[in-house]
Structure 1
Amino acid sequence: MYILLVEDDSRIAHLVERALMEAGHRTEVVYNGAAGLMCGITGVYDLIVLDVMLPEMDGLEVCRSLRQQRVRTPVLMLTALDAVPDRVRGLDAGADDYLVKPFALEEFLARVRALGRRGGDEAETNTLVVGDLTLDLARREAQRGERTIELTAREFALLEYLMRHPGQVLTKAQITDHVWGYDAEPTSNVVEIYIHYLRDKIDRGFARPLIRTFRGVGYTMKA
C-alpha cells in the first residue's frame, strides 16, 4: 500500500516508516497537521496514519476536514491519550481505527493490514491517471494516448510521486527525499536531470505538456 504518515515526532516517524517499508509498503512522511491535510486532499493514498497531537492543526481537526472534503481514505489515528472519551472523539472525527502509544510495531502492522482488507478493492490504487497519461502500478507500465512509455525504476518512482499529487507543486527537497531518500546529495541537480528525462519521454510530441516547472519553487503534473 501507499501510506501517508503524519507524525511530528521524528524518532517515531522514522521507526514507523522503516517498519512499513520492511513490510512492503511505500510511505510518505509529513510532520505537521497542515501538511498532512494538504497531502490527504491532493494526494492518492491507500491509508493515512495520523497522530493526534500535531503542530499547526491537530489530528482530530485534520481527520474531520478530510471527511468534510469527502476523502474516503482509511485513517488510523495514533495518540498517547488512552481515555475512552479520547478514543470516541477520534472515531467520531472519522477515523477508522485508533492505536494508543506506546504500541508494539507488530500490532501496528496488523492494524494496517486489517484496514487494507477492510478497504477491499479500494485499498490499493493500481492505476493513476493525469489527463491522457496512465500509470499502471501493478504492471509498472506508462502509457500516454496510444504510446507506451518505457521507464527506468527511478523514472517510474518520480512519475508515480508526481501523479499521486496532481496539481500540487512539489519542491526539489520533497522530491529528493521521497524518490532518492539518502542516496542523493541535497545540492545535486539529479531532480532536474530526471525531470528532463521524463519530459523527453512523456511530453515530447504532444501539444499539451503535463509536467510543469514553477521556477524557484518546484514541479507539478497537471492536465
Structure 2
Amino acid sequence: MNRGWQLGTGLILTALAGYVDALGFVRLGGLYTSFMSGNTTQLSVSLAHGEIRHALMPILLIFGFLAGATLGSGLSMVVPRRWATPVVLAYETLLIMAALALGLPTPELGLASFFMAMAMGAQNAVLAQVKGFRAGTTFVTGALFSLAQKIAEAFTGMGPRLGWLGDAAVWSALLVGAFVGTLAYGRYELYALLLPALVGGSLAVTAALLAARTRIAH
C-alpha cells in the first residue's frame, strides 16, 4: 500500500470518526463515542459532583474504546503486516454492525454506544499505522496546533508554503464527517450507522485486494 493510499484512507477514517462521534453525541446528549478526552472530563465532573449515576455512561464508553483499541492493536500485531489494515477494518465494520443490530431492538442507549466506542477504538489501531499523520478525533487538537505551527512557518519563510494543507485536511475531514453524521442521525436515527459500516467494509475489501496483489507480486 503506497503512501497516497494510506493518507487517503486516513482522511476517510477521520471523517468517519467525526460522523460516528456526532451521531453518538446527539444520541447520548453530550457524550462521545470517539472523543475520550471529552468523556474523561465528563466523568471527572460527575464524580466531583457525586453524581455516580451520570458517571456510568462515560465509564462504559471509555472502557469500550479501550477494549476496541486493545483488541484492534492486538489483531494488527498478530497478523502479517500487510494484512493488518484489512483485518482491523473488517473488525471495525463488524463492531459497527453489532452496534446497529443491538441498538435497534432496544431503547437502551448504552449497548449500541458501547460497540460504537469499541469500533472507534479499533479504528485508531488502523490510523496508528499511518506514520506522521495525525488522524482521528483523539488527535485533532494536536492537528490544529500543528496547523498553526505550519502556517507560522509558511508566513515566516521557515517552512514549506503549503505545508499546512495536510493538517487542515485532517480538521476539515472531521468537521465534514460530524456535520454529515448529525444530519444523518436526525433523518435516519441509528440506521445512519449503515454508511460507516459500508465505507469501512469497502475499505477493508480494497485493502485486502491490495495486500493480495502485493503478495502475488513478491
TM-score calculated relative to the size of structure 2: 0.26
Q: Where is the strand percentage greater, Structure 1 or Structure 2?
A: 1
Q: Where is the helix percentage greater, Structure 1 or Structure 2?
A: 2
Higher RCO, 1 vs 2 (CA within 8 Å, ≥6 residues apart): 2
